[in-house]
Amino acid sequence: MPTSVHILLIPGDGIGPEVVHAAAHVLASIAPDLTFAQAEAGWDCFQRQGTALPALTLEMARQANAILFGATQSPMGETPGYNSPILSLRKELNLFANLRPARNLPDSRPEFDLLIVRENSEGLYSGRERPIPGGFIAERVVTGVASHRIAQIACEQAYVQSARTGRRPHLTIVHKANVLKKSDGLFRTNCLEVAAAYSDLLVDELLVDTAAMWLAKDPGRFDVLVTTNLFGDILSDLTAGLAGGLGLAPSANLGANGIALFEPVHGSAPDIAGQGIANPIAALRSSVMLLQHLRRMEEATRLETAINTVLQVGPHPRDMGGRATTTEVANAVKRLALA
Ligand code: NAI
Ligand code: MG
């Protein structure tokens, strides 16, 4: 077991601190040797310090074994000097892969257990928009290098997923190469080439619109999907909806050299911030992914099993139709994980 594993908490704004502190409390209870530090980022930080992502936060992030990020609030409209911290972190730490698992709630239909692997560094998030007469052009960047490395992560994840579900390793490549012939053509070719090196991997492909239809109609047919940035963003919100909503959806951002940041998919939820009623399950599930990344499989399984029990028997928070507070849900998970 590695000694003194160091977790950096970046709680952020709104419900970010509420769910991150709840999850960190549970993590500290089930893995007491972990050490924690905390760093600032977000809108509140911007108003006090003039930057949404201080250099100190970035430095601490580079030193950490893993990062647990809450959510930050973005100001409406253009605010000079404000850049979204999560986008800056993904860029600065080169977190090129975004993993977004989704599965059905216990005892609910249809049954599914899938993972969307989203390319996180390019596509329509290139930040390149420029004026043309009468409008703007947004540049969608696709490179062979980025397509190749995301395909590799996705293939590896297909085996991890298979070990968990007992199904055959299965990768679905999602693209729009019939229209975006050159850019998505390159993405598709790279994915097919990388996947061909894995002998027992079942590989298929779908156009993104067809993939959306099948995800809505029969999500159980999928295991691991790999796609470009914006398609992955949209499809993973769709699967988050199928899986019970944003309060439940976790994610991981992976980069080279083992650097990794874990975060709930949801934002700062200003409409419920400060009331102590945010659902901590998305942050707790992100913590399961964090433990798995650290190869702490025993603790990860204990935490995941405890979360599943709470999903089944409660206590449930408000977004799941219950009345439990953030702390009550997290404490119930903690008790079960320690039992
Ligand atoms: P949101 O995810 O914050 O909230 C959408 C809806 O879901 C709200 O009704 C909220 O109450 C509910 N919700 C979200 N998480 C919940 C939880 N854990 N428990 C119970 N209910 C939950 O998205 P929205 O409202 O579009 O954005 C709010 C702010 O968050 C914006 O400033 C946005 O830019 C930011 N944001 C930040 C992200 C990040 O830091 N990674 C990601 C998404 C949004
Ligand atoms: Mg999104």
Identify the CATH number of the domain in which residue 82 sits.
3.40.718.10
Q: How many CA atoms lie within 13 A of 304 on its CB side?
A: 15
Confidence band for 2, pLDDT divided at 50, 70 and 90: very low
Average pLDDT over residues 164-192: 97
Task: Tell me phi and psi for residue 68, to 5 degrees.
Answer: -110, 115
Average pLDDT over residues 318-323: 96
**How many helices (H) and strands (E) in the chain?**
11, 12
Name the closest-CA residue to atom 23, ligand 1: 267
Write out residues with Cβ below 6 Å of ligand 1. Answer: 15, 19, 71-74, 86, 246-247, 263, 266-272, 278-279, 282, 319
pLDDT at residue number 75: 86
Note whether 112 and 85 are same-domain residues.
Answer: no
User: In ligand 1, which atom is closest to the CA atom of 73?
Assistant: 32
**Residue tagged active-site, from 181, 209, 217, 218:** 209
Any domain includes 100: no
* End residue of a domain, out of 242, 270, 293: 242
Percent of the chain topping pLDDT 70:
99
Q: Domain total for the chain?
A: 2
In the predicted structure, residue 29 carries a pLDDT above the cut 70: yes
Any domain includes 314: yes
Note whether 137 and 234 are same-domain residues.
Answer: yes
CA distances from 190 to 114, 119, 197 (A): 22, 13, 12
In the predicted structure, residue 3 carries a pLDDT above the cut 90: no
Note whether 137 and 237 are same-domain residues.
Answer: yes
Any domain includes 101: no
Average pLDDT over residues 91-99: 95
The range of the structural domain enclosing residue 229 comes to 106-242
Note whether 237 and 251 are same-domain residues.
Answer: no
Q: DSSP characters for 225-264?
A: EEE-HHHHHHHHHHHHHHTT-GGG-EEEEE-GGG-EEEEE
209 carries an active-site annotation:
yes
Note whether 139 and 166 are same-domain residues.
Answer: yes
Confidence band for 76, pLDDT divided at 50, 70 and 90: confident
Check: CB of residue 331 under 8 Å from CB of residue 310.
Answer: no
Q: DSSP characters for 87-101?
A: HHHHHHTT--EEEEE
Note whether 277 and 235 are same-domain residues.
Answer: no
Check: CB of residue 201 under 8 Å from CB of residue 158.
Answer: yes
Note whether 91 and 171 are same-domain residues.
Answer: no
Confidence band for 162, pLDDT divided at 50, 70 and 90: very high
Note whether 222 and 312 are same-domain residues.
Answer: no
Q: Which candidate, 285, 278, 282, places its Cα nearest to that of 246?
A: 282
Q: pLDDT for 207-256, tens place per residue?
A: 999 999 999 999 999 999 999 999 999 999 999 999 999 999 999 999 98
Note whether 82 and 161 are same-domain residues.
Answer: no
125 carries an active-site annotation:
yes
In the predicted structure, residue 257 carries a pLDDT above the cut 90: no
Average pLDDT over residues 100-106: 95
Any domain includes 15: yes
Interatomic CA distance for residues 56 and 58, integer angstroms: 5
Interatomic CA distance for residues 156 and 328, integer angstroms: 36
Q: pLDDT for 264-281, tens place per residue?
A: 999 999 999 999 999 999
176 carries an active-site annotation:
yes
Any domain includes 312: yes
Name the token pair of 172. Answer: 């679905």
* End residue of a domain, out of 242, 276, 308: 242
Any domain includes 155: yes
pLDDT, the chain, mean: 95
pTM, full prediction: 0.94
Average pLDDT over residues 289-314: 96
Name the closest-CA residue to atom 6, ligand 1: 269
Percent of the chain topping pLDDT 90:
91
* End residue of a domain, out of 199, 216, 242: 242
Note whether 236 and 300 are same-domain residues.
Answer: no
In the predicted structure, residue 1 carries a pLDDT above the cut 50: no
Note whether 71 and 114 are same-domain residues.
Answer: no
13 carries an active-site annotation:
no
Distance 267 CA to ligand 1 centre (A): 3
Note whether 128 and 3 are same-domain residues.
Answer: no
